[in-house]
Amino acid sequence: MPAWFVAFYEQYIREREWTHAMLQSHVMQEPRKKQVENKSQPSDLEPGVDPAVYKKMSLNITILEGGILFHSVFVGMTVSIESEGFVVLLVAILFHQAFEGLGLGSRIAQVPYPKKSLRPWILAIAFGTTAPIGQAIGLIARTSYDPASAFALIIVGVFNAISSGLLIYAATVDLLAEDFLSPEGLSMSKKQKLSGVLFIFLGAIAMSVVGAFA
């Protein structure tokens, strides 16, 4: 038997065994990969919901809610501590909380939570209770709390800075960019985009007017 045929045959056998082993390992790894992916995905999501999109929207709403909750605590404290102009302050804060609640509620409703998920209820209850908790703190500390003291100014400033940073990030990165730069936003007509920008400015003006009194 020629030497070249023996060498060719041995090479063929080695290549065949290597290819077979590679295919076997790939076939074995594929079900494991799918199992890992399935374990990492919530099993109770609605059909057609992309788990990656759900995770992103859930994280975005958590950041937005965190910024609002920090802010709401000090809004409640302000109502309890301030004695002058209480009626004007109360009306302004009522509108302030109403606008925030409508905006936050519309965003929570857009997240495709599973039907039996407690997450949206927890987010709604957290928003509804933080301002009263702040009021309770304000009533407890009303006699000893001095809003003009250095300690109070530092505490309020630090927490307002945290809240402002979270809200600015959520508004620019998660909300505005998602509304106007996402595939759905880019497919909107010019009229829809102009209407969206107009309502953004109207909301900013309304909150500025309320903020002038609060």
Mean pLDDT score of the chain: 75
Average pLDDT score over residue span 51-64: 83
pLDDT-wise least confident of 19-23, 70-74, 113-117, 189-193: 19-23
pLDDT reported for residue 46: 65
Q: Tens of pLDDT along 68-118? A: 888 888 778 877 777 666 777 777 778 878 888 888 888 888 888 888 888
More confident residue, 123 or 103: 123
pLDDT reported for residue 115: 81
pLDDT reported for residue 186: 83
User: Half-sphere exposure of residue 160, counting CA atoms within 13 Å on the CB side?
Assistant: 10
- As to burial, measured by CB atoms within 10 angstroms (0-12 exposed, 13-18 middle, 19+ buried), residue 156 is middle
pLDDT reported for residue 75: 79
Using the predicted structure, report yes or no on whether residue 187 has a pLDDT greater than 80: yes
At 122, is the pLDDT very low, low, confident or very high (cuts 50, 70, 90)?
A: very high
> Count of residues for the chain?
214
Q: Could you tell me what percent of the chain has a pLDDT over 70? A: 74
Average pLDDT score over residue span 2-27: 50
DSSP conformation letters of the chain? --HHHHHHHHHHHHHHHHHHHHHHHHHHHHHHHHHHHHHHS-TTPPTT--HHHHHHHHHHHHHHHHHHHHHHHHHHHHHHH--TTHHHHHHHHHHHHHHHHHHHHHHHHHS---TT-SHHHHHHHHHHHHHHHHHHHHHHTTTT--TTSHHHHHHHHHHHHHHHHHHHHIIIIIIIHHHHHSHHHHTS-HHHHHHHHHHHHHHHHHHHHHHHH-
